């Protein structure tokens, strides 16, 4: 951050109970103002940073990420050409054991809110407007992970536009932890997908606030996101968990049959969707999911 060429940067380092030398390093930086708190989590730390800052824009950066040279200047200039209800965000570089690769974050669908519910805009790619963060209440401290997805969905539902810039903004370090418990164990899979459902439920509940004027289309996006989670679970050999995700998706979108192809829509219409869902197995749903996915994207 200190190597950026933008002339007016306020650096706020929120130390959330670190046990390494992070605090010492931060205190050595004469440009940074250090704020300390005791293990309250990423959301509370980021919200604290929002409360402490005074600038028009806010850039979030985790301890293991690196802003690329000129990133702040590039995004400030891009933001100046946008409306006050628009946020500029860019691409990023992923660094791992296998090397580096450029990751495009361009939203794939013409409906912005639907795209934001399906795709994860990472925390550090946007240059946020502080007033918009305050308008939606910042990060949701009820979420342990995926807080940025929740935040960006709420911003989009509040009418905020995300404008993509091809410029890479930062380097994301993604190195595997050799001590990590296998992500593919059944116990971990159950917890992982249960959290995915909880994440969607909490976000949907938040959108009940009248401030979120464009929330209606998000319901379909939630259904599609959960359907995608079901497909992932199915591929990981967890058919029961996959079935839970599929059924939760259908619960979110009661008219989902309108977006399904004829080979799904006709039999479910003849015998009733609930009975049809009971008759077909999770394996069958998994085979249909790819075609259903294409149908939902095509019809929107």
261-295: pLDDT as tens digits? 455 556 656 776 456 545 655 555 555 555 545 45
For the segment 34-54, the average pLDDT, to the nearest whole number, is 89
Determine which of 125-139, 220-234, 283-297 has the lowest per-residue pLDDT on average.
283-297
| From the candidate CATH numbers 2.60.40.1890, 3.20.20.120, 3.90.550.10, 3.30.710.10, the one assigned to the domain spanning 11-173 | 3.90.550.10
- The residue with greater pLDDT, 177 or 114, is 114
Q: Give me the percent of the chain exceeding a pLDDT of 70.
A: 80
pLDDT for position 246: 84
What pLDDT is recorded for position 144?
A: 86
- Asked if the model's pLDDT at residue 92 lies above 60, the reply is yes
Tokens of 292: 């259903």
Model confidence pLDDT, tens digit, residues 201-228: 999 999 999 999 988 889 988 988 998 8
* CB-CB contact of 92 with 171 (8 Å): yes
**How many angstroms separate the CA atoms of 89 and 109, rounded?**
16
Assign 86 a pLDDT band (cuts: 50, 70, 90): very high
Q: What is the model's pLDDT at position 287?
A: 55
pLDDT value at position 235? 75
Q: What is the pLDDT of residue 41?
A: 86
Lowest average pLDDT, out of 6-10, 15-19, 157-161, goes to 15-19
Lowest pLDDT segment from 37-51, 81-95, 159-173 = 37-51
| 258 contacts: CB under 8 Å, gap ≥ 6 | 265, 299
> What average pLDDT is seen over the chain?
83
Token couple for 293: 């996915």
For range 91-108, the mean pLDDT: 92
The larger pLDDT score, comparing residue 191 to residue 177, is at 191
Q: Please check the confidence at residue 175 and state whether its pLDDT lies above 90.
A: no
Question: So what's the pLDDT on residue 70?
Answer: 93
Report the Cα 210 to chain-centroid distance in Å.
22
The more confident residue out of 178 and 165 is 165
The domains of the chain are located at: 11-173, 186-299
Average pLDDT over residues 92-105: 92
Residue 39: pLDDT over 70: yes
């Amino acid at each position: 951050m200190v190597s950026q060429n933008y002339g007016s940067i306020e650096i706020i380092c929120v130390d959330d109970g670190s046990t390494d030398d992070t605090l010492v390093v931060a205190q050595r930086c004469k440009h940074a103002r250090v704020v300390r708190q005791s293990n309250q989590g990423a959301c509370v730390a980021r919200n604290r940073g929002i409360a402490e800052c005074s600038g028009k824009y806010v850039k979030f950066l985790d301890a293991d990420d690196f802003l690329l040279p000129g990133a702040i200047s590039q995004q400030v200039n891009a933001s100046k050409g946008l409306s006050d209800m628009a946020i500029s965000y860019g691409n990023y570089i992923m660094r791992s054991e296998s090397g580096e690769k450029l990751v495009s974050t361009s939203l794939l669908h013409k409906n912005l809110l639907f795209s934001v519910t399906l795709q994860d805009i990472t925390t550090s790619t946007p240059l946020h407007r502080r007033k918009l963060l305050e308008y939606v209440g910042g990060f949701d401290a009820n979420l342990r992970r995926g807080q940025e997805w929740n935040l960006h969905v709420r911003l989009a539902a509040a009418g905020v536009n995300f404008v993509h810039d091809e410029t890479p903004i930062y380097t994301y370090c993604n190195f595997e932890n050799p001590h990590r418990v296998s992500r593919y164990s059944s116990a971990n899979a159950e917890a992982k997908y249960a959290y995915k459902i909880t994440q969607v439920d909490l976000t949907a509940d938040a959108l009940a606030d009248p401030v979120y004027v464009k929330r209606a289309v998000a319901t379909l996006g939630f259904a599609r996101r959960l359907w995608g989670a079901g497909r992932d679970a199915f591929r990981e050999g967890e058919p029961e968990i996959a079935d839970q995700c599929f059924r939760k998706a259908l619960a979110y979108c009661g008219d989902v049959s309108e977006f399904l192809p004829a080979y799904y829509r006709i039999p479910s219409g003849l015998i009733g969707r609930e009975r049809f869902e009971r008759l077909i197995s999770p394996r069958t749903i998994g085979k249909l999911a790819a075609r259903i996915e294409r149908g939902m994207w095509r019809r929107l």
